[in-house]
């Protein structure tokens, strides 16, 4: 039982590129970032599909104390070709005020899709606890994730 | 740890300097697992009034491709 390593959810990106043609738009402002504890059990980014399903159906930070289950909207999202073969997914930093909770990682998912398809999971590598303060996730200067399409 | 030690905060960060209004102190959080283990992955900020902020410096996921020779 532990939050998994960071990565992209394979089933989602398979569905985007195969005959399913999942309409994942990374520029949308409706994606959400949900916080989870380190009690997540059995998560597997190669098979897990969505927020609220399987390992991601429990062990989210509890509702209340500055957090609303389902997570916060991921705003300022961009999916841009930055240089060479690299495309970057980025967003405005996420934060929760008057927060009193502990989280170990987050799940970004497509709330606009009926399936709440999971996009990526990011482990924080340690528990972070806010007490009547602000819980902030500062996205990396390299973005939330990058894909280098040209080796 | 006995009750007295727990009550006086043995093992907890010293808050003596935080008695002054408006002060705060930043404590680094060390990554416990994975390739970043041992590195600072963010910080907690203790405020004089008891509030604690948590700031995660999130790692990026970088997907790379390679070519396979025939």
What digits encode the pLDDT tens for the residues A40-51?
A: 999 999 999 999
What are A105's strand-pairing partners?
A36, A123
Task: Quote the minimal CA–CA distance from A150 to chain B in Å.
Answer: 7
Q: What is the pLDDT of residue B6?
A: 74
pLDDT at residue number B35: 87
- Does the complex come out with an ipTM higher than 0.90? yes
Question: Strand, helix or coil at A74?
Answer: coil
Looking at residue B13, its pLDDT comes to 60
Say what the pLDDT of residue A18 is. Answer: 97
Model pLDDT for residues A50-65, shown as the tens digit of each residue: 999 999 999 999 999 9
β-strand pairing of B24-30 with A86-90: unpaired
Indicate if the pLDDT at residue A15 is higher than 90.
yes
- Give the predicted TM-score (pTM) of the model: 0.90
Cα–Cα dist B22/A97, whole Å: 18
Instruction: Please state, as a whole number, how many other Cβ atoms lie within 10 Å of the Cβ of residue A117.
Output: 24
* Structure confidence at residue A16 (pLDDT): 96
Low-confidence ranges of chain B (pLDDT < 70): 1, 8-9, 11-19
A8 touching B (Cβ < 8 Å): yes
Using CB atoms, pick whichever of A5, A103, A132 lies closest to residue B50. Answer: A132
Chain B residues with CB within 8 Å of chain A CB: 29-34, 36-37, 41-42, 44-45, 47, 50-67
From the CA of A118, how many Å to the nearest CA of chain B? 15
A86: pLDDT strictly greater than 70: yes
Report d(CA A111, CA A89) in Å as an integer: 16
**CA–CA separation, A39 and A58 (whole Å):** 9
How many angstroms separate the CA atoms of A16 and A58, rounded? 26
**For the segment A92-151, what is each residue's pLDDT rounded down to a tens digit?**
999 999 999 999 999 999 999 999 999 999 999 999 999 999 999 999 999 999 999 998
Closest CA in chain B for residue A120: B61
CA A76-A78-A83 angle, 5° bins: 140
Min Cα distance A26 → chain B (Å) is 15
């Amino acid at each position: 039982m532990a939050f998994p390593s960071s990565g992209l959810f394979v089933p989602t990106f398979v569905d985007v590129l195969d005959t399913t043609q999942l309409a994942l738009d990374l520029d949308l402002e409706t994606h959400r970032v949900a916080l989870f504890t380190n009690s997540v059990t059995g998560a597997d980014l190669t098979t897990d599909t969505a927020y609220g399903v399987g390992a991601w159906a429990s062990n989210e930070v509890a509702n209340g104390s500055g957090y609303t289950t389902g997570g916060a909207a991921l705003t300022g999202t961009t999916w841009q070709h930055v240089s060479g073969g690299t495309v970057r997914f980025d967003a405005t930093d996420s934060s929760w005020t008057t927060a009193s909770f502990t989280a170990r990682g987050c799940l970004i998912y497509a709330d606009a899709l009926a399936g709440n398809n999971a996009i990526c999971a990011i482990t924080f590598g340690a528990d972070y606890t806010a007490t009547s303060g602000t819980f902030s996730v500062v996205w990396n200067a390299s973005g939330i994730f990058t894909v280098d399409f040209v080796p | 740890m006995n009750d007295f030690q727990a009550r006086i905060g043995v093992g907890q960060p010293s808050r003596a300097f935080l008695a002054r209004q408006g002060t705060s102190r930043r404590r680094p959080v060390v990554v416990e697992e994975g390739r970043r283990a041992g590195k600072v992955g963010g910080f907690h900020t203790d405020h004089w009034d008891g509030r604690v902020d948590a700031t995660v410096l999130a790692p990026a996921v970088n997907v790379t491709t390679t070519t396979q020779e025939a």
